[in-house]
C-alpha cells in the first residue's frame, strides 16, 4: 500500500497491523497511518499519538499474544486497559473499565 485512501474504515486501516511481525514493515505501516491522519489537519505529534492509541485499542479486540506483539511493534498500549505485558484483563474487568469511561464521558 503506497498511500491510504482518505475514506477508510477502522477495520481496513488497522487490521493489517494486527498480522504484522516484522519491525521494518510495522515502521513503514505506522508512517502510512500517521500520514493519513495528518491529512486531516493534525500535526505529526498529534497524529502519532492518535495512531498509537488507535492501534492499542484495536489490538484489544484480539488475543493476548496479538496485543503483546502489536504493542511492541508500534510502541503503543490500550488507552483504557493499559499495557498487555502488565495485565491480562478478565472480561468483567474490561467491561467495567469501558463502563467507567462511558460514565465519565457521558453528557447525561
Is the per-residue pLDDT at 106 higher than 90?
no
The residue segments making up the domain with residue 55 are 10-104
How is residue 94 annotated by DSSP?
Answer: H
- Neighbouring CB atoms inside 10 A of 33's CB total 23
Q: Please, which residues bridge with residue 78 across strands?
A: 82
Is residue 63, in this structure, part of any structural domain at all? yes
Q: How far apart are the C-alpha atoms of 56 and 52, rounded to whole Å?
A: 6
Q: How far apart are the C-alpha atoms of 70 and 84, rounded to whole Å?
A: 10
Is residue 49, in this structure, part of any structural domain at all? yes
Is residue 1, in this structure, part of any structural domain at all? no
CB 37 within 8 A of CB 47: yes
Is residue 3, in this structure, part of any structural domain at all? no
Is residue 81, in this structure, part of any structural domain at all? yes
Is residue 4, in this structure, part of any structural domain at all? no
Give the per-residue pLDDT at 46.
Answer: 98
Is residue 59, in this structure, part of any structural domain at all? yes
Is residue 64, in this structure, part of any structural domain at all? yes
Model pLDDT for residues 39-90, shown as the tens digit of each residue: 999 999 999 999 999 999 999 999 999 999 999 999 999 998 899 998 887 7
Q: How many domains does the chain have?
A: 1
**pTM score, two decimals?**
0.87
Amino acid at each position: 500500500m503506497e498511500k491510504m485512501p482518505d475514506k477508510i474504515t477502522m477495520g481496513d486501516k488497522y487490521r493489517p497491523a494486527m498480522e504484522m511481525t516484522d519491525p521494518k514493515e510495522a515502521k513503514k505501516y505506522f508512517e502510512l497511518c500517521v500520514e493519513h491522519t495528518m491529512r486531516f489537519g493534525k500535526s505529526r505529534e498529534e497524529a502519532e499519538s492518535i495512531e498509537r492509541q488507535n492501534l492499542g485499542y484495536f489490538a484489544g479486540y484480539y488475543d493476548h499474544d496479538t496485543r503483546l506483539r502489536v504493542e511492541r511493534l508500534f510502541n503503543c498500549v490500550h488507552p483504557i486497559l493499559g499495557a498487555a505485558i502488565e495485565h491480562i484483563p478478565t472480561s468483567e474487568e474490561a467491561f467495567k473499565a469501558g463502563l467507567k469511561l462511558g460514565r465519565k464521558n457521558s453528557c447525561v
